[in-house]
Amino acid sequence: MNCDKKGHYARVCKSTLRRNKPTSAALYSQKKVTAASPGNLSKVIINVRINGHMAEALIDTGSSESFVNSSLVKGRKWKIHPTDNTVCMASTSLQSRVRGYCNVELDVKGYTHRDVRVLVLRDLCADVILGHNVLKQHTSVEIPFGGSKPRLILNALTTAEVSSPQLFANLSPVCKPIAIKLRRHTAADMNFITSEIKRLLEEGIIEPSDSPWRAQVLVTTNQNHKKRMVVDYSQTVNRFTQLDAYPLPRIDEMVERVANYKIFSTIDLRSAYHQIPIREEDKPYTAFQAGRRLYQFRRIPFGVTNGVACFQRVMDDIISDENLKDTFVYVDNVTAVSYT
């Protein structure tokens, strides 16, 4: 029912249907966006210019995606690209499918952001919602609330300062650049590669390259039918890379030591290699082609011969330098233990 009175169904209720308040996005993860109902938003709404049009934008520090109200897009000749993202309300099981996404130019407080991806959604609480894909381009975002209490500083996780390993220290004396011819891809795979390149560029994992090296990418599918873009270095730099003999921990010894503790916390690092920067002189060796462009990695790429050894060495150094006696690492699997 629409009136909260018992004895009849909603479809025959004569009371006006109550509608939920508009929602603002709070979390984006692959194909779902979690949302939360806004309260008094006046302090976090600013004027912006989107594709030359003035609009009100909500600063949403909990959203890793940005949104535009479908009413703003309607009547304007903005190209809407198809997508299958859905929005989920945080407090209910309701879902709303986005209409697509636009690539727009945003002017925010004197800063111009070009080619910004914004998802198109109905009934937003503002014309635009600015998420992390815009906010993360600034060192910080300050919002004055005018309250009586002192300034509140929230310390979130920051990027650790990690020394770059020598990823290609063991190259053969006859090493020379190799440029592999472009592989053919299906239209679906090419669209996936394009989206992955865009993501890697936005996250600062890769950058444009003018290297004489050129590997090729391929698209694989795992057991869950999830696609993954990989770079095939087997015909380029891996041919000249001698094995780094740095040892991995013995799993049986780790199990024996861990068994002495009572409390266990396990962490599986996300895209672990991509968290470790590489040296400037090593970047050209990682160059690869995607579409008609050449890119190179700024972080350890998957698929290079000594990626595992270099990553394990870095993790072991961190454990040693920070004196983390009750922490055990096997490549990207971290186990922290304690007695109480």
- Give 52-99 as a DSSP string: TEEEEEEE-TT-SSEEEEHHHHTTS-PPPBP---EEEETTSS-EEE--
Residue 302, pLDDT score: 93
Per-residue pLDDT averaged across 296-314, rounded? 94
Confirm if 304 and 159 have CB atoms less than 8 A apart. no
Q: What is the C-alpha separation between 181 and 233, in angstroms, rounded? A: 13
Query: What average pLDDT does range 21-29 have in this prediction?
Result: 42
Question: Angle at Cα 146 formed by Cα 141 and Cα 151, nearest 5°?
Answer: 60
**Separation between Cα atoms, residue 303 and residue 227, nearest integer Å:** 16
> CA-to-CA distance for 45 and 55, rounded, in angstroms?
10
**What mean pLDDT do residues 33-52 have?**
72
Distance CA 232, CA 301 (A): 11
pLDDT of residue 140: 81
Most confident of 81-85, 108-112, 143-147, 159-163: 108-112
Planar angle of CA 177, 180, 185, nearest 5 degrees? 155
The string of pLDDT tens digits covering residues 287-304 is 999 988 999 999 999 999
pLDDT at 88: 56
- Confidence (pLDDT) at 29: 39
CB–CB of 58/92 below 8 Å?
Answer: no
In one letter, which amino acid is 155?
Answer: N
- Strand, helix or coil for residue 27: strand
Our CA angle for 230, 233, 239, nearest 5°, is 160
Closest CA to 20 of 32, 38, 4: 38
Residue 214 clears pLDDT 60, i.e. is over it: yes
Which pLDDT score is estimated for 77? Answer: 81
Q: What is the rounded CA–CA span in Å between residue 178 and residue 193?
A: 22
Q: What is the mean pLDDT of the chain?
A: 83
pLDDT band at 154 (very low <50, low <70, confident <90, very high): low
Whether the per-residue pLDDT at 32 is higher than 50: the answer is no
Q: Looking at the predicted structure, is the pLDDT value of residue 157 above 70?
A: no
**Token pair recorded at residue 270:** 């996300």
User: Does the pLDDT value for residue 85 go beyond 50?
Assistant: yes
Q: Which residue has the higher pLDDT, 138 or 88?
A: 138
Q: Return the pLDDT at 24.
A: 42
Who has greater pLDDT, 328 or 96? 328
For 229-274, how does the pLDDT look when each residue is reduced to its tens digit (9 = 90+)? 999 999 999 999 999 999 999 999 988 888 889 898 988 888 889 9
pTM: 0.56
- What is the per-residue pLDDT across 58-79, written as a single tens digit (0 to 9) for each? 998 877 789 999 889 987 888 8
Q: Which residue has the tokens 């210019």?
A: 49
